Amino acid sequence: MLHYIQALLQQMDLSSALDAALRVVSVMLCLTIHETCHGLAALSLGDSTAKSMHRLSLNPLRHIDWLGLLMMFTMGFGWAKPVPVDPRYFKNPKKGMALTALAGPVSNFMLAFSLILLSKGIYLYADYTLVWDVIFNFLLSTAVLSIGLGLFNLLPIPPLDGSKVLGALLPDRAYFMLMRYERYGMLLLLLLSFANVGGGLISRAIAAVYTAMINLLY
């Protein structure tokens, strides 16, 4: 009996360690794709700042902010090191910033779509094994995380991407006023998270987008 309990505890520890490791991989994948696409969008619009600072990379260590990563696990949201963007290189700075910002969330939705499509391939063509089961669940859970990251960043609160998109629709005076308070945006996000304001709405939005993708692909 004692041996059985010890074996069960070891299995639980291994399972927890595997779950934690896969969670880290998921977060790093979603954040890395998000930030790299910001840089690629800026480059396509004439700003090579991210390229010159070696931020057009799929190496997650170039993008990870360790405090932001910790917040992702403990608070349910987090951040990476922002890709440097210089709007002076854009022909239309406000529009260029909006398109550069929008590239991050769009990349997360595209990543989620691709992961769900891969999971369908496993579902249809792979024989059931423990390894394929782990991969299948990893793909779907990462898709949910990527959708969540994309939707969260579309909130029109500085410094999130949604504020840059909103800014393109505002008069210049209102735009600069919005950007002036960017430094306080993260504090506001932390307060909203502690107060659990809007969490249910975001969760429902994530579920709706995920369900729509599943229904489209399955």
Burial bucket for residue 94 (CB in 10 Å: 0-12, 13-18, 19+): middle
Query: Average pLDDT for residues 13-18, to the nearest whole number?
Result: 69
Using one digit for the tens of pLDDT, what is the confidence trace for 91-132? 999 999 999 999 999 999 999 999 999 999 999 999 999 999
Task: Provide the token pair at 129.
Answer: 């094994």
The catalytic site residues sit at 35
Q: Does residue 9 register a pLDDT over 50?
A: no
| Residue 164 confidence class, pLDDT cut points 50, 70, 90 | very high
Q: Does residue 145 register a pLDDT over 90?
A: yes
pLDDT at 12: 47
Q: Could you tell me which residues come within 8 angstroms of residue 71 by beta carbon, excluding any fewer than 6 positions away?
A: 77, 78, 79
Structure pTM? 0.86
Q: Does residue 63 register a pLDDT over 80?
A: yes
Q: Between 109 and 177, where is the model more confident?
A: 109
Q: Does residue 28 register a pLDDT over 50?
A: yes
